[in-house]
Structure 1
Amino acid sequence: MKNFLPIICAVIMATGCQKTTTISADLIDVKNLDIYNSQNMTSVRSAFDLIVDDVFKYPYSSVSYSSFLNGPLGIDGPKEPLAQIANNCIKSKDVQIQSIKNKDNEIISYKFYTPIEKIKNCIVKESNAPINADALIDLNKSAIFKEFSDNPFLRETLDNLKSDGVITVKEYMDIIQIIIKLDKAGKAVQLEKVIKDL
Structure 2
Amino acid sequence: MIRTLLALDGALVRGALSLVLAAEEDIHVVAEVGRGDAVGQAVRVGRPDVAVVDFELIAGDAAAHRCPLLVLADPRRARGLYRVFFPGRTVGILASDVAPHRVVDGIRRLARRESVVDAELVLAALGADSPLTERETEVLRLTAAGAPVAEVAGSLRLSHGTVRNHLGRIARKTGARTRVEAVRVARESGWI
What TM-score does the superposition give when structure 2 sets the normalisation length?
0.26
What TM-score does the superposition give when structure 1 sets the normalisation length?
0.25
Q: Which has the higher strand share?
A: 2
Q: Which has the higher helix share?
A: 1
Q: Answer 1 or 2: higher relative contact order, Cα 8 Å, separation at least 6.
A: 1
Work out which of the two has the higher radius of gyration on C-alpha atoms and give 1 or 2: 1
